[in-house]
Chains A and B, each alone.
Chain A
Amino acid sequence: MTEVEVISKRFGATEVLGQISFRIAPGETLAILGPSGIGKSTLLKIVAGLDRRFEGRVARPERLAMVFQEPTLLPWRSTLQNLTLVHADLSRGAAEDMLAQVGLAGKGGFYPGQLSLGQQRRLALARAFAGRPQLLVLDEPFVSLDAELAETMLSLTESLIARARPATLLVTHARAEAERLADRMLWLGGSPARLGPEP
């Protein structure tokens, strides 16, 4: 079970996030929607444990994975090593299998720079799922993609989530994405931002 209870998050004198609390059950996908600049990324960093300077409490499971807005790969290591270096217990065979699942079979020896942007995104997805995450955090993973690529990525993510069933937190400003992936939607709004019903 993932439990988030933020009392307050400030940057200097500005209070960015107010009282926010939610839970994500194992296997459930929760989408948090809101316009750009509202504090979605800030909230996400708190949930992922990247930002510990806030008032409140977060309980998250052991195995965590995240898909960032950008692929965020290690450009100096091969595609296969991008999986095996990040997940120490991942065998070579399992890593190759994971590459095949995202349509990168046989590309294990390539450097990320030799892949297309779409392939890099798929590698980032493979990296997230290769660790068999209990909590998966998706930070606007389809932003800045053209419609066709976004659709491919969306259905790939959908099928991977269906197979692995992690607790998933999706942060996005696109309602269509959220409706497609999520079991439940919450809206972030106001200043300081709080969760509420659809505005």
Chain B
Amino acid sequence: MERFPVTAVSLLGLLGLWIAAAALTSDPSILPQPWSLVGPAWTEIASGKLPYHLGHTLVRVAWAFALAMGIGTVLGFVMGRCETVNRWLDPWLVVFLNLPALVLIVLCYLWIGLNETAAIVAVTLNKVPNVTTVIREGVRSFSGDLDAMATVFRMPFRRRLRHVLLPQLAPYMSAAARSGVAVIWKIVLVVEFLGRSNGIGFQIHLYFQLFDVARVLIYALSFVAVMLAVEWLVLQPWERQARRWRTA
């Protein structure tokens, strides 16, 4: 692939910026050099602490992501297809889109309790309106001609969904999924920061109180690394598959 070196060089550039900034600061307690993180990072991994907290965060992200994408896609689909439902639900959407994440998190903890359900519900509620909006836009852009074609030839609903409608929705789904994962993991951290006793957000809270910049960076970067892996191993191959007809 031709663009692989670009990605690598671009990431190396970011690393270079970090090294330069760390050299200029010359205070490891504010910004340590990247290589000075290797030792502590290895200690965190070997002790099993980092995998333990990363695992908890990943499970929350996975749950919230699946729920938000599922609910958001169905809502967006119905709102895009049915104008009456859209008129009724659109004001709700605006309300929830503009409700600060923090407010939803605090309310969920207060109403549901300081538990896992509240954490996942809070993150899901934060993301659903976003997914709904994107998917609704996708559904509105459906081709009327293809609709007519599927009707005339009496394609059964499931076949129509899979071969006529979902392919038209694919770019919107991948946009929603991309921004979805990014936003969800940030909100999960806040949820963990505020009211959980494990997860990366909890660890960052802990090391924030200890002014341990190195460990805050280690925990943050560990998740970034996981997300890059997901991007390259799952999302991009899937997209290539879905876009094959465009480039053929």
Question: A-side interface residues toward B, CB under 8 Å?
Answer: 45, 48-50, 64-66, 68, 70, 72, 74-77, 81, 85-88, 110-111, 113-114, 127, 131, 137
Contacts and interface: CB of A to CB of B under 8 A. Distances in A.
Contact of A65 (B151, B153, B245): B153
B167 A74 contact: yes
Nearest to B149: A72
A88 B156 contact: yes
Q: Which of A75, A76, A131 has the most CB of B within 10 A?
A: A76
Nearest to A45: B148
A77 B163 contact: yes
Given A85-B159, A86-B155, A88-B156, A72 B248 contact: no
A72 B151 contact: no
A72 B145 contact: yes
Contacts of A110: 248
A159 B148 CA distance: 26
Contact of A74 (B154, B156, B164, B248): B164
B246 interface: yes
B152 A64 contact: yes
Majority secondary structure, B binding face: helix
Contacts of B20: none
B182 interface: no
Contacts of A48: 148, 152
A114 B246 CA distance: 9
Contacts of A50: 148, 151-152
Contacts of B153: 64-66, 86-87, 127, 131
Size bracket of the B interface: 10 to 19
Contacts of A87: 153
B146 interface: yes
Nearest to B143: A72
A72 B163 CA distance: 14
Contacts of B149: 66, 68, 72, 86
Interface in B176-228: none
Given A113-B248, A114-B248, A88 B159 contact: yes
Interface string B222-237: 0000000000000000
Contacts of A85: 155, 159, 163
A170 to B, nearest CB: 16
B148 A68 contact: yes
A137 B151 CA distance: 13
A70 B246 CA distance: 19
A137 B148 CA distance: 13
Given A68-B145, A72-B146, A77-B163, A111 B152 contact: no
A55 B243 CA distance: 44
A76 B153 CA distance: 18
18 contacts: A45-B148, A48-B148, A48-B152, A50-B148, A64-B153, A65-B152, A68-B148, A68-B149, A70-B145, A72-B146, A74-B146, A74-B167, A75-B245, A77-B245, A81-B163, A85-B155, A85-B159, A86-B155
Nearest to B168: A76
B159 A49 contact: no
Contacts of A81: 163
A76 B152 contact: no
Contacts of B154: 64
Nearest to B243: A76
Given A48-B152, A65-B153, A74-B167, 9 more contacts: A48-B148, A49-B151, A50-B148, A70-B145, A72-B148, A81-B163, A85-B155, A88-B156, A127-B153
A66 B152 contact: yes
A110 B245 CA distance: 9
